[in-house]
Structure formats: structure tokens, C-alpha cells
Amino acid sequence: MTCEDAVKKLREAFPDSIHEETQFRGETTLRIAKSSLRDICLHARDRMGFDYLVDISSVDHFGQEPRYEMVYELYSLRNEFHLRLKTEVSEDDNTAPTVSDIWPTADWHEREVYDLMGIRFIDHPDLRRILMWEGYPYHPLRKDFPLEGKTTDLPGVAFSEPAPLAGGPFVTIPTDGTTQVREPRARHAGEIPSPEKFLAEP
């Protein structure tokens, strides 16, 4: 079976749920309805040999509606081809059905999406945060979350402060001084060393 056959069979099986098919550099993407995500995934696994879920990711289209998008990257180890499924998640609803019972690897992937993007997965067996600590109030990969972070005030539990960005994550002041002088966030214990003494470049 080739990828074209698989997509054709899938479209015959779910004529109403598959909205759009995109081809880009040999990669096939199907835009599907969220309500039939589980049915399509089960069908793809059991009938078409998509036995491997490579990755689940989410996209934040901030300012648009529907705001979020879930991306499922499937692979068939037997037939050696990929298939990408995309589905939309609205900001008001903010939920998606879990596929962790179809592919067990989805458990942690969905926890990561929940942690960083805030999309909740219905019937997930263990929907806890995976990277930030339990009780952290924000979802950092959303577009309206600043890169430097926000102050968290959970006394006795944890805290976080905005990181000193000074305009961006990687910035230097354009002078001919040392790396210490060029770094706007440097904390100095005493006087700044003279450039002659600690010149970084010849």
C-alpha cells in the first residue's frame, strides 16, 4: 500500500470528516473534523497500518478563530510512509479527544500540549503538567505569554520571576569593550575590569 492508496481509502471511509488534503514535498496532510478524530485514528491504526505515532504538537494561531490547531504525525513502520492529521480547537471549547488509548505514547505528548498550550484532553488517564510544576498558573507556549515569563506567587510551593531579557534572549551592547561590558545583564561584584587587561579578542 502506498500513501496515496491509504489517503484514498481513508477519504472513502470518512467522506464528511476529511475537509482538505494538502500535498507538500511528498508530505500528505489531512485536515479533519475534531469530532471524528478518534474514529479516523482508530481506522488508520487498525486498517491501514499506522502503528507508530511520531509526535503530537499544537499551534497557536493567536488572533484567529479557531485559535488552536492540533497536529498528529503518524507513521507506518510496515509500509514506510507518513501521514499528518490536523484538527482545529477553538478557544472557547479548548478540548480535544485523547488518543492515548490508541497509541500509548500519546500520553506524555498530550501532557506536554496541556502543560504548555493549555488544551485539555478528554478521557486522558493522567492529565498532569509534565514540564512546569503542578499549580503553575500559565501555559507558556501561548502567543500571549511573554518570553521572559511572568511572576508567579505561590508562597511555600514555588515561584518564578521574569528573566532579565534586556530586549531579547541574546543581546549585547555594541562597544569595543570586553564581554562583561557588552553584556547588558552582567552583574558586577566590583569594578568592571579594564578592557586592556581582559580583552576577549585580539
Q: Least distance (Å) from another protein to the CB of residue 158?
A: 6
- Considering the complex, state which of residue 70 and residue 116 has its C-beta at the smaller distance from another protein: 116
- Taking CB under 8 A as the rule, does residue 133 contact another protein? yes
Q: Report the C-alpha gap between 127 and 114 in whole angstroms.
A: 8
- Taking CB under 8 A as the rule, does residue 153 contact another protein? no
- Considering the complex, state which of residue 51 and residue 112 has its C-beta at the smaller distance from another protein: 112
Q: Which listed range, 32-40, 46-54, 104-112, 163-171, lies at the site for another protein (CB under 8 A)? A: 163-171
Within the chain, where are the H helices? 3-13, 37-48, 106-117, 179-182
Task: Please pick, from the candidates 1, 42, 131, 173, the single residue that binds another protein as defined by CB under 8 A.
Answer: 131
Q: List b or e across 20-57, with b for residues whose CB sees 16 or more CB atoms inside 10 angstroms.
A: eeeeeeeebbbbbebebbbebbebbbeebbbeebeebe
Task: Please pick, from the candidates 161, 173, 199, 200, the single residue that binds another protein as defined by CB under 8 A.
Answer: 161
